[in-house]
Structure formats: C-alpha cells, structure tokens
C-alpha cells in the first residue's frame, strides 16, 4: 500500500518517516508553484529554480528569462517577478526560465533527497493526482510555508491532494495529513473566504500583490506536472 | 495587545516570530504534561524534567521519586512510568519527582529561552488560561509533537487554549494558531471520537497504554499551573 506523509514546513522535512521510494510534491501556493505551473501551461520549456539571487546572473547571457523576487519585490535585472500573471504565452512560449523565490527554491533544494520531485498547486491538482496515482511510489507533500513556519494556503493544498489520493488507494497514518484534510474540509466550501485569515494573504495585500488570490485557489487551470530532471523542471505531461 | 503564536513541533521553535516578553506553554498531552499536572494536583512539591535517562541516577539517593519511560516503556530503576494514573496522592503527596520522557523534556529544554515556562494540558486549561490572562506577556504555545513531527492531540490543546485567550483580549496573526483553532472546532464536539484517528493514540493502544485517553482529554481535573523555576517545576497556584 502506498503511503502519504505531509510536511508542514522546511524545518520538519529532515524528520519525515517515509524513507524510500517516494515522490516529493513541493507546494508554494502563493505564488511560486502556481506561477511555475502557469509558465509551463503557457509554453515554457524548462524552469531552473535557484536559491540565491546571485545565481541568476550566469543565466542572463544564455537566453534565459529571469523571474525573481524577495518578499514580494521584483529583484534588479529580472524580467519579471513571481506573479502567475507575468507568465503570458507571448512572453514565455518556447522559452527557458530561471526563477528565484523567497520560499520555493529553498524547499526544492531540500527535496532533492528524492529522485522524483514534482510541483503541486490548485492549478494542476487533477493532472498531478492522476500522475501520482499511476506511479508505484509513496508520496510526501512538502509545504514551503512562510519563513520556516506553517502556513494555511500550502496546508490546504496538502489536504486537498491527500484527500484525492486516499480515494485512489493510498493510505496515511500521518497526523499532519489528517489535520490538513480536516482544514481543507472546512475551507473547500468557500476557499477564498477561508483564506482571508491567512497571514500571507495579508502580506500580499499590503504589497499590492493580492490580485492573484482567486487564480491561485482555482482548480485545474493548467494540465501540467512540473518534474525535476537534474537541476531543471520540465513538464512531465509533454 | 498581547499576541498568541503556536509552534507545532520542536524543529519549528527556533523560527517563532515572537521575540520578547513571552510565556511559553509546553504541551505534551499524551502524556507528559497531563501527568505532571496530575502529580501537582496530588501534592507533589517539585518536578524536575531531565532529557536523558542517565541524569535521573544522581537524584535516586536524594529522596526523589523517579518517573521515566522511553517509547511508552518504563525505564529500569524508575518508580513508575508516565501514566497520570501512577501519580496517586498516596505515592506523590509531599514528594519531589524527577521525570524523563520521550518528547516533553526535550521541549522544555528548548523553551528555556523564555523565563516564563508553564505546562499546558486539558486537565489545567481553565486555571492556565486565567493565569496567562492576568500576565502582561505574549504567549507562545509549544507543542511537543511526536519525534519532531506535528501531532493532533497537542495541536488540539493549542487550538482550545488559543480560542480561550482570544476571547480574553489576546490577538493572533499566526496561521498555526488559526489552523489549530479550526481543528479544535471540529474535534470539540466529541474529542474522544476525533482523536481515534491520531497516530499516537494507536501507538498507545499497541502498547496497552491507552487507558489514559479519556482522562487526558477531560477538561479541568486539576487546579494547577506548573511553572519552571530554575530547573524545577513548581505549582504557581500554591
């Protein structure tokens, strides 16, 4: 029987009990994993996540677009920030992208202990569920959180994804997974109303970046499964 | 305005955002903090938590009772394990106790960054709430979890305590606190039914130690607030 384990924030990831043959699903709903799914949907061919701003420099003269921000502010020299709305077909179709974000890329680095690392968002949840269900691997859902803390939006995705996987024959004896499912059961009736209380939602509002909220919580706007190959994500559905 | 922050497991504690003037409420419902509240209720005068089994040895000839277990098994040379039912008035009235547990004592050590460290359980929740409400300090609720992971039972206490404190004028902009309150709102209707799904409840059952469940989730069986003074807990209500 394949298991599901949920990790609510990066400091908890070294303590996961799932030890072998697992896919890691990285979640950073506001906004890194949502944005990366959008970029693939709009035709990007490759996305390289990097942890440090300095690392983007070597890609500038190699034809890559640079997406980067810290605390919601676009970094100097980047082509755009991390709003999914930046990744239009006109800008990214056929292009390679380098991305650096506040939380997401650090999480991706840690997840590298598995050789199957994919990105999860509400925007690709159905395609992702089907893709995971077809593989003979356990699943670890790895929430990026905010500054090494638990956050609500990533935990809701964890609950929603876990609930779907349980219906497809997975099992879970993980309290985090059960808690996440219960939170999702409360939120799913009206997820935009629920997420009003999330602290990150308020941070985005202060920065004028909360125009993406509705999009980030809308199901199935993309048909992609970003999969890490070496140091770059490609779309496993292509 | 006094704030509430919740930490779901020890690896998250170094990342709390509350930086000054705060009480730490340590929670280990199954069973360390519940048992220690019981011990004080039954007349214990002092409880010294230690992280390592070896540390209990030096207290043996000083008139201390030794309470100790690892993974639910009573350690060699201890007077009893960590079941609250061990701490009867006949055994502990007027006595000093040294306790070592799987999760709780490690948490207490980490919490020492604050000079106000108290123990929280369902068994002392009303007295604890009143005590915290009378102090001019922020509150950090520190769940011990299980093997450095999130667990449901400690998170439920966090939600229950936070909900009471919010009604007494505290505020919280912490997603963990909000998530914990939502879980408590689901569970409180029938907490024993809810906790059936907790993984630690199953571990206790396998070890034959789940006779304490109902007691551990019963409100207000004690009128104590265990408070850390130097390296020993005393009852702040005495």
Q: What is the pLDDT of residues B225-236, one digit of tens each?
A: 999 998 899 999
| B35 occurs within a structural domain | yes
| B95 occurs within a structural domain | yes
Domain of A134 in residue numbering reads as 4-235
Cβ contacts of A150 on chain B, cutoff 8 Å: 8, 12, 175-176, 179
8 Å CB contact of B197 and A178: yes
Q: What is the pLDDT of residue A56?
A: 87
| B94 occurs within a structural domain | yes
8 Å CB contact of B149 and A176: yes
- Predicted structure pTM score: 0.95
Q: Is A120 helix (H, G, I), strand (E, B) or coil?
A: strand
| B12 occurs within a structural domain | yes
Question: Per-residue pLDDT averaged across B94-119, rounded?
Answer: 88
- CB of A175 less than 8 A from some CB of B: yes
pLDDT tens per residue, range B146-176: 899 999 999 999 999 999 999 999 999 999 9
| B236 occurs within a structural domain | no
8 Å CB contact of B198 and A175: yes
| B223 occurs within a structural domain | yes
Closest in B15, B175, B186 to A11, CB measured: B15
Q: How far is residue A202's CA from residue A30's CA, in Å, rounded to a whole number? A: 11
| B238 occurs within a structural domain | no
Q: What is the pLDDT of residue B61?
A: 84
- CB of A19 less than 8 A from some CB of B: no
Q: B69: domain CATH number?
A: 3.90.1560.10
Q: CA nearest B148: which of A144, A140, A13? A: A13
Q: How far is residue B143's CA from residue B111's CA, in Å, rounded to a whole number? A: 11
Q: What is the pLDDT of residue A71?
A: 72
Q: What is the pLDDT of residue A199?
A: 78
| B237 occurs within a structural domain | no
Contact assessment for residue B211 and residue A187, using Cβ atoms and an 8 Å cutoff: no
| Chain B (181-210) residues lying within 8 Å, Cβ to Cβ, of chain A | 182-183, 185-186, 197-200, 202
Q: What is the pLDDT of residue A43?
A: 98
B43 vs A83, which has greater pLDDT? B43
ipTM greater than cut 0.90: yes
Q: What is the pLDDT of residue B21?
A: 96
For A228, phi then psi, to 5°, come to -80, 125
Residues of chain A falling short of pLDDT 50:
none
Closest in A11, A151, A174 to B175, CB measured: A151
Alpha helices in A168-238 (DSSP H): 175-187, 191-194, 199-206, 213-216
Res. B75 pLDDT band, cuts 50 70 90: confident
The domain total for chain A is 1
- CB of A11 less than 8 A from some CB of B: yes
8 Å CB contact of B12 and A14: no
Q: How far is residue B35's CA from residue B146's CA, in Å, rounded to a whole number? A: 17
Strands (E), B71-113: 73-74, 96-100
DSSP state letters, B186-217: HHGGGHHHHHTT-HHHHHHHHTT-GGGHHHHT
């Amino acid at each position: 029987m394949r298991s599901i384990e949920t990790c609510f924030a990066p400091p908890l990831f070294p303590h996961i009990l799932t030890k072998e043959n697992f896919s890691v699903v990285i979640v950073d709903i506001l906004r890194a994993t949502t944005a990366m799914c959008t970029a693939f949907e709009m035709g990007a061919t490759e996305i390289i996540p990097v942890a440090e701003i300095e690392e983007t420099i070597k890609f500038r003269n190699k034809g890559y677009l640079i997406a980067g921000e810290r605390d919601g502010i676009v970094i100097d020299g980047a082509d755009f920030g991390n709003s999914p709305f930046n990744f239009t077909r006109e800008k990214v179709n056929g292009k390679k992208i380098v991305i650096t974000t506040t939380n997401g890329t650090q999480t991706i680095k840690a997840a590298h202990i598995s050789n199957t690392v994919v990105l999860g968002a509400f925007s690709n949840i159905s395609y992702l569920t089907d893709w995971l269900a077809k593989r003979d691997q356990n699943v670890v859902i790895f929430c990026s959180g905010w500054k090494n803390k638990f956050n609500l939006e990533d935990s809701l995705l964890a609950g929603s994804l876990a609930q779907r996987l349980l219906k497809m024959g997975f099992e879970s004896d993980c309290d985090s997974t059960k808690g996440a499912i219960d939170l999702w059961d409360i939120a799913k009736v009206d997820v935009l109303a629920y997420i009003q209380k999330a602290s990150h939602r308020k941070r985005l509002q202060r920065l004028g970046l909360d125009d993406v909220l509705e999009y980030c919580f809308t199901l199935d706007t993309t048909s992609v499964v970003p999969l890490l190959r070496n140091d770059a994500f490609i779309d496993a559905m292509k």
